[in-house]
Amino acid sequence: MQMNASYTSFVALGDSFTEGMSDRLPDGSYRGWADLLAADLAARTPGFRYANLAVRGKLIGQIVDEQVDIAAAMNADLVTLVGGLNDALRPKCDMGMVRARLEEAVSKLAPNCGRLVLMRSPGRNGPVMERFRPRMEQLFGFIDELAEAHGALVVDLYGPGALGDPRLWAVDRLHLTAEGHRRVSEAVWQTIGLEPRRDWTEPLPPVQPVSWYRRRSSDLRFAREHLLPWIGRRLTGRSSGDGLTPKRGDLLPYPYEL
């Protein structure tokens, strides 16, 4: 990989991870790693353009059907694709279908961009992570194979383990905090051939153990505010992204002041 590579345009595809949840801005919108990366790239490239097609809750089939052809037609210098984890975290998941749709996406995107970047997504350390770890690692195996076959880069956010720290995850336990997104942005920055600016894998400082009462209070809040609504959506066939459109659906010039 060429160091200090130059990029004039960037298109991001995916779900809530790429939309930016839960790096919430004062106006209630989400920023996230892709916006941060775009701002940094824009700061070094006059006329830089950016599109973010990601929408929360999207499964890999929806990402392929709703985002991939649009992104391929943009012919951007840099394209990131993160998807499949929402599928893998469901109780019933056809991993063969996930692989096939990922392959369809990569085969369309790779010839129509300067550099395609895939990711091994992070997960929050805890019992849910352990339950789904085998399926996640199966997904990451697919991603590694597709990257090798199509000349894509892979950002490994899973292997180093730093992003598994629960303190880097929002109260919903599904999405990264602002600091988590900053680390992801730096990881992508380095993977695409730009000079490292910080060690995104550095562990957070140790803290005193949390009391049993505080842990239980946190668990109850999580169940009430996030787990039960999530179960309700699954039972009724709804998604958190229903009716939403991409926050930046066109490849347009992007300011770098964030």
> What pLDDT, on a 0 to 100 scale, did the predictor assign at position 116?
98
**Sequential DSSP letters for 220-250:** HHHIIIIIHHHHHHHHHT--TTTT---TEEE
CA dist 101 and 32 (Å) reads 25
Q: Read off the tokens for 251.
A: 């490849």
| Alpha helix ranges (H) inside 168-211 | 178-191
For the segment 156-195, what is each residue's pLDDT rounded down to a tens digit? 999 999 999 999 999 888 999 999 999 999 999 999 999 9
User: For the domain bounded by 9-196, which CATH number is listed?
Assistant: 3.40.50.1110
Contact 209, 217 (CB under 8 A): no
Q: Is 153 exposed, middle or buried (0-12, 13-18, 19+ CB in 10 A)?
A: middle
Query: CA of 92: how far to CAs of 19, 86, 181, in Å?
Result: 25, 11, 29
Residue 244, Cα to own-chain centre: how many angstroms? 17
The per-residue DSSP string of 78-128 comes to EEEE--SHHHHTSSS--HHHHHHHHHHHHHHHGGGSSEEEEEE----SSHH
Per-residue confidence (pLDDT) for residue 188, from 0 to 100: 98
Q: What is the pTM of this model?
A: 0.89
Domain spans, the chain: 9-196, 210-240
| Predicted local confidence at residue 206, as pLDDT | 87
Going by C-beta distance under 8 Å and a sequence separation of 6 or more, which residues neighbour residue 12?
18, 34, 38, 50, 51, 52, 53, 54, 79, 80
Among residues 92, 21, 10, the alpha carbon closest in space to that of 244 is found at 21
Bond preceding residue 22 cis, omega within 30 of 0: yes
Model pLDDT for residues 222-237, shown as the tens digit of each residue: 656 656 666 665 556 6
| Low-confidence spans in the chain with pLDDT less than 50 | 258
Residue 240, burial from CB neighbour count under 10 angstroms (0-12, 13-18, 19+): middle
243 token code pair: 């009716």
